[in-house]
Amino acid sequence: MTYRVMGVDPGLTRCGLAVVDIEPNRRSTLVAVGVVGTEAGRSLDERLLVISEAVDTWLDLHEPQVLAVERVFSQLNVSTVMGTAQASGVVIVSAARRGIPVALHTPTEVKAAVTGNGQADKAAVTKMVTKILRLDTAPRPADAADALALAITHAWRRGVGLQGAAASAVSGGTVTSAQRVWAEAEARARRR
């Protein structure tokens, strides 16, 4: 059974949107990816409405089980942080209206999950997302790749691959003892 995650890299100028299906063995497949953009000259309410309508359309069309959004973090440019936070709020409300759970992940968390290095640059994230999803061409712009990385990160951190590890262990596959312990703990938690 696949786990469908929608990733959102929020922003007023470019808001990355991506949907990924993740199998129990962690195999990740691209469903859709894109960017909704708004012009800086438009009013804030118009810009947020464009983002909201795009996210609504994606949520209704792709029906993800969860929405993974990049956590807003402090930057030196307060106006950029405010715009990102406002776009995030619109996205989160769209999911909440549908009863879709929302998970927030920091940029460092996403980079570490996808590349193994929390300080990786955008090129490294894009390269690994392209490899993980078995894509012929890299997703562009970087906001699209970041949205894909968010979706993948959420599924992997949730333990989707560990369910596959538990199944592999039962069928005689090779898993580490740490993977086995984690999978068993997760299974116990689900039963409660």
Active-site residue identified among 21, 39, 70, 121: 70
Q: Are 125 and 90 in contact (CB under 8 A)?
A: no
Nearest one of 11, 50, 39, 7 to 139, comparing CA atoms: 7
Q: Are 121 and 97 in contact (CB under 8 A)?
A: no
Active-site residue identified among 9, 21, 56, 136: 9
- Count Cα neighbours of 39 within 13 Å in the Cβ-side half-sphere: 2
Q: Are 20 and 132 in contact (CB under 8 A)?
A: no
Active-site residue identified among 23, 60, 143, 186: 143
Q: Which two tokens stand for residue 95?
A: 């999911």
Instruction: State yes or no: is 143 an active-site residue.
Output: yes
Element (H, E) at 90: helix 78-97
Instruction: State yes or no: is 21 an active-site residue.
Output: no
Name the residues annotated as catalytic.
9, 70, 143
